[in-house]
Chains A and B, each alone.
Chain A
Amino acid sequence: MWLLVWFALTWAQNPAADAQPRLDPSRNELRLSLSGAFLDEEEVRGYLESGLTTSLLVRIQFRDKEGRLKKGAARVDLRYEPWDAVYFADVWDLNGKRTQEKLTDRDALHLWWRSLQLAVFRDPAGVACRQTRVSLEVLPFSAKEQNHARQWISEVGSGKIAERAGGSGDIELVNVLVATSMKRKPLMRFAWRIPCEDGL
């Protein structure tokens, strides 16, 4: 009995639920903006300012109107450089390209994060959902996995993956973003359950 209680307590754990992500429809894409409140959490701040790279893996999961399970993902690698007191950010999302940013201070990081729209899901036939589960995992850096992700993303950009799959490379890209982050134990995890906005 106590084991069941334990299970229930641990499964219900959902830290920092004050932040709510927003979904924006655009060109049959789900674009995700996340509140930057978690960046101020003492533990997250400790990892971010360690001078070592920290990855933020954003995952989305929902069922469409026919009840089919859909998944999407994006990843942001952040590194604080103690000498210049700046943050370097690498964004890996469904656009199949890696965008790099240099953020001059913590306020700039917050501002950039709030304005960041991560393309997490795309369906040429249209996107329709009711309720979405969004998770954000704070992961330690892995050079080996980053190289793997970089290689895959360059292949997506050149169309090789799409040719092999006989269609869009989006699914493969989502898989690689998740798979290349999976071998690392998450340092922290946040999760939200949000309703989709009208028009999606």
Chain B
Amino acid sequence: MLVCLILLMWSGMSVPESMGPKGPFAVSQVATADPTFAIETIVIEGEKQVPEVVILTESRLIAGQTYSEQQLRHAIQRINRLAYVMECRFRLKRGSKRGIYQLVITVEETRFWFVETTSTWSRSSEGGRTGNFDTGVVGARWFVGPADLLYVSSESFANWRAGEFDLGDQLTLGYSHFNLLDQNIFFDVQLGWQDGDRSMVVTQFGPAASENRDSWRLNLVAGVPVGENHWFKLVGRYALRSNRLWERDPLGEERLSAETDVRSGNLTFTWEYNTTDDSFVPRQGRLWRVGLLMGGSESNLESVAPGREIGLTDQDFYTADVRYEQHHPFWNRHNLSYQFTGEARRQDLRATTAAGDQPGPDTAFGRQRELQMNVFGDIVYAVDLWGNRKTRRYGDFRLELRQRLGYQHENNLFSSESGGVRLRESDHVSLTVIELKYRNAWAVARLRFEYVWRP
């Protein structure tokens, strides 16, 4: 798989329109049909908090090199995709010698604090799969060095799904560096803590059971640019989760039923080719992403009542996924995009359960091997309802209609000392989403209604 990934990277790098800077410093011909520009210096204007290094790193332009117009356009799009920049423009001025230019990059920044809200109403042709999901994030970021960013955010969520109610808060503290080893390498470390309460099977007398969970997670990201519009990303995640399950007895009193500790970690390798003009409301360009995930988890369940029981599970999983997006503006404010997502996952789970603290004659062993494949194709129509065409100072407001067709296949093999069972399940799924998206210099809001059709 890794070989395939490298081959894909190589083939992507050979796309002619995305070649890197051309050769040594040279004076351009001013009146050619496809002009190139020798950039002597790069000047950045309009920046308030975002350091110049961050803009320059993302532009991947180097003073002293010659660039075509297409390469400069792609640099504009890369800067525009930064969360800290609302808009970026390039202007060429005369340099010190004839035929040599000074590139002026003008940026308009977003605010240092941000708010994000998402509300989703989900309904399904199978009544039991309905739900409402709401999240709200408040955060702030500070550039604390020439290429160093510190950020903090607080997230609250409230999810309701068919008799379950899940409430929680999450705190995240992160640090990013944009130019590691002076090689334009992006590095990010993120520490998060989550506290959540889940009430299950809510009746008129209250929840029949509830779960309280705490979790810590650590994420590490390294992004290496490997071409003009290509990235290679390595993401590592490690999480510790502790769950406590409470049950309500007939007298209405809650008592601790089980405790679980889970340790999990995974490593993701991703190659990405991205020429979209915006990460939130893209109107043009394409995205290719190929990823490989390897991970594992261990959990330790201790049941308190009615009899003491322990359960140990050990799980390995591998996921390969590919994603393709193509965006077309087709008329004035109207946009059409096609998206394809494919994912294959293999999971091996080993479980041991025993009464008492130590394995004994009643200890049971079980294995499960799950193979899962999902393929989705999406067509998305979007109309920009509002947004200043001249400058994005006042934000973007978009209505999106998405129709997804998909196929899901699952192959499960359960085995234990007494034998094995194989279960296969295939399903066609269709999803309709209506979404309103809004963004300005400090806020992002999404309002989404989705309907899942299952045959």
Q: List chain A positions with a Cβ less than 8 A from chain B.
A: 6-7, 10, 15, 43, 46, 49-53, 79, 81-84, 88, 90, 102, 135, 140-144, 146-147, 150, 182-189
Contact = CB atoms under 8 A, between A and B. Distances in A.
Contacts of B73: 52, 140-142
Contacts of B92: 50-52, 82
Nearest to B285: A183
A96 to B, nearest CB: 17
Contacts of B101: 51, 82
B91 A51 contact: yes
A52 B17 contact: no
A188 B389 contact: yes
Given A43-B391, A51-B91, A143-B17, 8 more contacts: A6-B385, A53-B35, A141-B70, A142-B73, A146-B33, A185-B283, A185-B284, A186-B329
Contacts of A53: 35, 69
A32 to B, nearest CB: 19
B407 interface: no
A30 B330 CA distance: 24
Contact of A143 (B31, B68, B277): B68
A82 B33 CA distance: 16
B305 interface: no
B329 A182 contact: yes
B30 A184 contact: no
Contact of B30 (A6, A83, A143, A186): A83
A135 B91 CA distance: 26
A184 B284 contact: yes
A184 B72 CA distance: 15
B423 to A, nearest CB: 46
A90 B31 CA distance: 11
Given A82-B94, A182-B330, A184-B329, A144 B72 contact: no
Judged by DSSP, the binding face of B is mixed
A144 B333 contact: no
Given A6-B385, A81-B30, A189-B389, A52 B69 contact: yes
Contacts of A83: 30, 94, 98-99
Interface footprint category on B: 35 or more
Contacts of A10: 333, 385-386
A183 B329 contact: yes
A50 B30 contact: no
B93 interface: yes
B386 A6 contact: yes
Contacts of B94: 82-83
Contacts of B332: 135, 186, 189
B90 to A, nearest CB: 6
A50 B284 contact: no
Interface in B389-405: 389-391, 397
Contacts of A7: 385
Interface in B51-82: 68-70, 72-73
B37 interface: yes
A143 B34 contact: yes
Contacts of B34: 143, 146-147
Given A6-B385, A88-B31, A183-B284, A143 B69 contact: yes
A51 B284 contact: no
Interface SS majority for chain A: mixed
B69 A50 contact: no
Given A140-B73, A143-B69, A82 B386 contact: no
B70 A144 contact: yes
Given A182-B330, A183-B328, A188-B390, A84 B70 contact: no
A50 B90 contact: yes
A102 B31 CA distance: 9
Nearest to B332: A189
A119 B66 CA distance: 37
B390 A43 contact: yes
Interface in B259-285: 277, 283-284
B244 interface: no
Contacts of A182: 328-330
Contacts of B333: 10
Contact of B37 (A51, A141, A150): A51
A61 to B, nearest CB: 11
Contacts of B30: 81, 83-84
A29 B68 CA distance: 37
B89 interface: yes
A87 B385 CA distance: 35
Nearest to B103: A51
Contacts of B330: 182
Given A6-B385, A183-B329, A185-B329, A81 B31 contact: yes
A152 B121 CA distance: 48
Interface string B365-389: 0000000000000000000011001
A20 B196 CA distance: 63
Interface string B4-31: 0000000000000100000000000011
Interface string B329-358: 110110000000000000000000000000
Contacts of A143: 17, 34, 68-70
B93 A51 contact: yes
A150 B33 CA distance: 11
A84 B31 CA distance: 10
Which residue of A83, A84, A182 has the most chain B CB atoms within 10 A of its CB atom? A83
A81 B72 CA distance: 16
Contacts of A43: 390-391
